[in-house]
Chain A
């Protein structure tokens, strides 16, 4: 190893410590920092492809499995179950991907690089929002693959290309919103295993106490009441309207409102918990 010397140059002089300094990060800077950290997250995804299994292998396996196991029992035959289950599985798969968002955040926060993020003059929300923006890609892959497998086994979405595109967009937006719940767990959890544990505990009721796999009208009263206000149900109903009818119905509005409520509650909680950790 050659000796390490810093050449003396005029331009190496330090910046002026007495200059006026902004006390907050502006909106444009926050956005740019978020996108930079999203870039980092996509580089990471590219280099460890195993983090993509939940949005690639899982839709492939689950879609076929659920359609053929439950199809006959729930809807009489597989073909008439497909419009219900494919759209339901999109909700379920995206929610699983959200769990991974939280777990990966925890793993990431335990590495040294987060220490540097904390001490940089960047918006406190950027290290949270960056990976979440990158995860939009994961939700996109998950929903497109689920539709593709569905179509391969005979699902014909009545909404056509536009309807399906709208459904995919809504699924991505819903994934981003619901991810705030799991991001909060990711921040407050003691370690990655604990985060995974709490997240699954929350994910299962959210998925199964919804209209994802079966119509809610056979559920007992209290369960049904929950299933009908469950944001996951709202999103799945809206996805069904878009993909199967090609219609932008009031249900889409309800889904968007549900997403907004989740963000309004969990985003501030997450940012506050994150700041306290920092």
Chain B
């Protein structure tokens, strides 16, 4: 059962304010519909996140908008230019960085940027200067004349992004920009994307991670099996599945009723008790409320064994929006193997 998608489309928005306007996009691969009547409006200057699990149709949709895949039905406009009718004009407005680095393995970083700059009509001197400038900005100057095969994953992504920015395109597509990166490199990539937006760029990014969409995107569309199931800000999406959860494990199960009482007094909320695991789950409107609860429990001399605060995960958002989890798009049922997880999921879904 799919709840109606909460849409935030402002009907008074004019085309000129839109970087991307897609209506009824369809892509059919054999008898499988990879993209099924998706509407999308990306406003100029915003970061728009497309969130979904593997195989949801995110990349397919992005490739259609980027003139890389034929649009089977529907219409897509990029700054008012029809993607199907004017692919060349659309390509001039776009920078695309794919899931896998699309740079030339046989060339050095400098040579790669020079190649792509020259192909886009920059003069020799300009191409050289712009390449050097970008290598400096992306912290690649030291590796400028090394072969790409010696680059780390993060360096490749950065070079790839630099190659997309040579002509300062007003619209950037980022296909899962941090998938496979370590947390530190991921944070650096996020900073880079934020800086990009500061220069006036519009960014359309796909991601599997709710926290990435949360960190970067002004608005998010959730896509599942080729269908848009929800759209809104990160806060709107998260409130549709509930806020953070404080999970407390007490030393003595006899304390559990006391915990429940304190929480009701402090937050006015009913808790979910799991006596066999000596555990309570406390729904929090704000994460800092966890401190009030813990302080109160210490005052009542409740011995606590462990404490965790969990934010809703993509899995939970997904479960709430689509009725199935992210890992198994072929089933509508919840198939969670870990019984404790299932308790959490059911609790989130119940709200």
Report whether B88 and A22 are in contact in the complex, using a CB–CB cutoff of 8 Å.
Answer: yes
Q: Report the Cα distance A4→B88, complex, angstroms.
A: 33
Question: Known: A5-B191, A16-B170, A120-B116. Is A47-B91 also a contact (CB below 8 A)?
Answer: no
| Interface pair B103/A112, CB less than 8 Å apart | yes
**Chain A residues with Cβ under 8 A from B88's Cβ?**
21-25, 121
A40–B115 alpha-carbon span in the complex (Å): 7
Instruction: Verify B171–A17 contact, CB threshold 8 A.
Output: yes
Asked if B191 contacts A4 (CB within 8 A), the reply is yes
Given contacts A7-B137, A15-B168, A112-B102, contact A29 B115 (CB under 8 A): no
Least distance between B330 CB and chain A CB atoms (Å): 28
Q: A40 CA to B80 CA in the complex, in Å?
A: 34
A14: which of B81, B105, B118, B168 is its contact (CB, 8 Å)?
B168
CB < 8 Å A-B pair total: 126
A119 to B111, CA, bound (A): 19
Contacting pair A6 B120 (CB below 8 A): no
- A14, B169: Cβ atoms closer than 8 Å: yes
**Contact code string B53-96 (vs A, CB < 8 Å = 1, else 0):** 00000000000001110000000000111000010110111101
A274 to chain B, nearest CB (A): 13
Give me 16 A-to-B residue pairs in the complex whose CB atoms sit less than 8 angstroms apart, sorted by A's number.
A4-B138, A6-B195, A15-B168, A22-B89, A23-B89, A25-B88, A32-B121, A33-B119, A40-B107, A44-B106, A112-B101, A116-B102, A119-B91, A120-B91, A120-B120, A122-B119
Instruction: Give A residues with C-beta under 8 Å from B.
Output: 1-8, 12-18, 21-25, 29, 32-33, 36-37, 39-40, 43-44, 47-48, 111-122, 126, 278
Chain B residues with CB under 8 Å of A1's CB are 139, 154, 184, 188
Task: Tell me whether A111 and B105 are in contact (CB under 8 A).
Answer: yes
Residue of A nearest to B171 (CB): A17
Contacts of A115 in B (CB 8 A): 68, 98, 102
Residue B228 lies at the interface, judged by CB distance under 8 Å to chain A: no
Beta-carbon contact of B94 and A119 below 8 Å: yes
A37 to B115, alpha carbons, bound, how many Å? 8
In the bound complex, residues from chain A placing their C-beta under 8 Å from that of B139 are: 1-2, 4
Chain B 187-227 interface 0/1 with A at a Cβ cutoff of 8 Å (1 = within): 01101100110111100000000000000000000000000
B91 (CB) vs chain A CBs: closest residue: A121
Which residues 126-154 of B sit at the A interface, judged by CB distance below 8 A?
137-139, 154
Given A43-B111, A47-B106, A48-B106, A14 and B119 contact (CB-CB distance below 8 Å): no
**Residue in A16, A113, A119 whose beta carbon sits within 8 Å of that of B104 in the complex:** A113
Given contacts A6-B138, A23-B86, A119-B94, 19 further A-B contacts (CB under 8 A): A1-B139, A1-B184, A4-B139, A4-B189, A4-B192, A5-B191, A6-B199, A14-B200, A15-B168, A36-B119, A37-B115, A37-B119, A44-B106, A48-B106, A112-B100, A119-B91, A121-B91, A122-B119, A122-B120
List of A residues within 8 angstroms of B92 by Cβ = 21, 121
Complex Cα distance, B121 from A121, in Å, reads: 9
Instruction: Give the CA-CA distance A126 to B121 in the complex, in Å.
Output: 13
Q: Which residues of B have CB within 8 Å of A119?
A: 66-68, 91, 94, 96
Q: Select which of A15, A22, A118 is within 8 A of B68 by beta carbon.
A: A118
Report the interface size for chain B: residues with CB under 8 A from the other chain. 55
Interface contact A43-B120, CB-CB below 8 Å: no
Q: Which residue in chain A gives the minimum CB-CB distance to B97?
A: A116
CB distance from A162 to the nearest CB of B (A): 36
In whole angstroms, what is the CA distance A111 to B105 when docked? Answer: 9
CB-nearest residue of chain A to B164? A116
Taking the nearest CB of chain B, how far is it from the CB of A261, in angstroms?
30
Evaluate whether A5 and B195 lie within 8 angstroms (CB atoms) in the complex, with A21-B81, A47-B106, A112-B103 already known: yes
3 smallest CB-CB distances across A and B, nearest first, come from A6-B195, A112-B102, A121-B91
Query: Is B96 a contact partner of A17 (Cβ separation < 8 A)?
Result: no
Bound together, the chains give a CA A82 to CA B113 distance in angstroms of 49
